[in-house]
Structure 1
Amino acid sequence: MGAVHHDLAGEPTFEPMIQIDMEIRNFVSAWRHCDYVSTYVARMISQTRSDSVRHSNLFSSAFNELLEVAFRTRHGDGELACRVSRHGATDRIELTFPCVAEERQFYKEAVSQVAGLEARERYVSSVSGDIAPSREIVLLELAVDYNATLRVEEADGDAIKLVVDLPLEGFEH
């Protein structure tokens, strides 16, 4: 077994696997871009997993949901950056995209509420309603259904970075 490497903050080191950058204007020009990007990235990073087809399907579904959150941005300029890294059984998605100040505040508040026991209760009550899925429900779904951990980091300019850790290898659902 190899040694586990940690960064200066004591967090395990995630090794970069793939990064895709595109103009947000091009990305939001067609809904199908969410599916294209998520499917491509999932296939690329799942090759070395014990069940590559299963991993690819799970990753693609989770990543597609996250991309749909970025697709709904109200900010029309800037870049969408998708970076996937890995540490052991966990894949990390870092999704940086432009958004207006109100959206950045929304994401900070929503991500702060997706951890803990209330998240499952809030998710169940939200999906049992008759309303269309919101960005908050998508974030709750990632936390509850995929056992993801989420956080928000500052990004340059009018952008936000969502960091999602997906422990999919060996995931039982």
Structure 2
Amino acid sequence: MGSVHHEPAGGPTFEPLIQVDMEIKTFVSAWQHCDYVSTYMARMISQKRSDSVRHSNLFSSAFNELLEVAFRTRHAEGELACRVSRQGATDRIELTIPCVPEERQFYQEAVAQVAGFEARERYLNSVSGDLAPSREVVLLELAVDYNATLRVEEAEGDAIKLVVDLPLEGLQH
């Protein structure tokens, strides 16, 4: 599966902060769930940041984009798991998303493209059009605008785990 990454022994340790799980059927039943979950999680994890309001707004915005990507799943069964952990200035979102095999391939290819050196140019070209942003564009936006690093990891069953590291505390926005 794509680029699987494990923390090296003695490498940075991410401390768990919060996790929210819900049935994917419940999640996709209303578009507002993206905003509700991202706002709640942002408020919960932003308390001890240097500028908690700024951090909450940035995190909520980035996480909402990720949840909107997950919202478009075509898989009707399983659980959406949202976990946030922290190491220093970086917040890590681990989003386990039920998906069909074609979507698994999409995530692997999209994340590989996001990691490419031409990601910024691809993103700027994509936002110059009048189309609503695709899921790939949303992932590119996270990498370019939020300096996020993304990867796909194995998950149990018909699901993928999207891991997004957001260095928001040091972000100059």
Scaled by the length of structure 1, what TM-score is found? Answer: 0.94
* Bigger shift: residues 139-148 or 115-124: 115-124
Task: Name the structure 1 match of 2:50.
Answer: 50
1:53-92 counterparts in 2 under 5 A?
53-92=53-92
User: How big is the alpha-carbon RMSD for the aligned residues of Structure 1 and Structure 2?
Assistant: 1.3
Residue identity in the other structure for 1:84: V
Question: Whole-Å Cα distance in 1 between the matches of residues 92 and 120 of structure 2?
Answer: 22
Question: Whole-Å Cα distance in 1 between the matches of residues 139 and 29 of structure 2?
Answer: 23
Task: Name the structure 1 match of 2:121.
Answer: 121
Query: Can you list the C-alpha shifts for 1:79-136, whole angstroms capped at 9, x where unaligned?
Result: 0000000000000000001000000001000001112430000000000012211000
* CA 123–10 in structure 1, closer or farther in 2 if over 3 Å, else same: farther
Partner SS state of residue 144, structure 1: helix
* CA 50–99 in structure 1, closer or farther in 2 if over 3 Å, else same: same
Residue identity in the other structure for 1:93: I
Question: Whole-Å Cα distance in 2 between the matches of residues 169 and 8 of structure 1?
Answer: 23
Partner SS state of residue 37, structure 2: helix
Question: Whole-Å Cα distance in 2 between the matches of residues 10 and 144 of structure 1?
Answer: 29
Question: Whole-Å Cα distance in 2 between the matches of residues 21 and 102 of structure 1?
Answer: 23
Task: Name the structure 2 match of 1:160.
Answer: 160
Question: Whole-Å Cα distance in 2 between the matches of residues 10 and 125 of structure 1?
Answer: 40
1:3-152 counterparts in 2 under 5 A?
8-152=8-152
Question: Whole-Å Cα distance in 2 between the matches of residues 100 and 9 of structure 1?
Answer: 33
Partner SS state of residue 113, structure 1: helix
Scaled by the length of structure 2, what TM-score is found? Answer: 0.94
Question: Whole-Å Cα distance in 2 between the matches of residues 142 and 130 of structure 1?
Answer: 19
Q: Which has the higher contact order (CA 8 A, sep 6+)?
A: 2
Aligned residues: 168
Q: Any unmatched runs of 5+ in structure 1? A: 1-6
Question: Whole-Å Cα distance in 2 between the matches of residues 36 and 155 of structure 1?
Answer: 25
Shift of 1:10: 4.7
Task: Name the structure 1 match of 2:4.
Answer: none
Residue identity in the other structure for 2:149: T
Identity of aligned residues (%): 85
Shift of 1:171: 1.1
Residue identity in the other structure for 1:137: V
Question: Whole-Å Cα distance in 1 between the matches of residues 11 and 26 of structure 2?
Answer: 34
Shift of 1:8: 4.6
Question: Whole-Å Cα distance in 1 between the matches of residues 73 and 107 of structure 2?
Answer: 11
Question: Whole-Å Cα distance in 2 between the matches of residues 143 and 8 of structure 1?
Answer: 23
Question: Whole-Å Cα distance in 2 between the matches of residues 123 and 10 of structure 1?
Answer: 35
Q: Any unmatched runs of 5+ in structure 2? A: 1-6
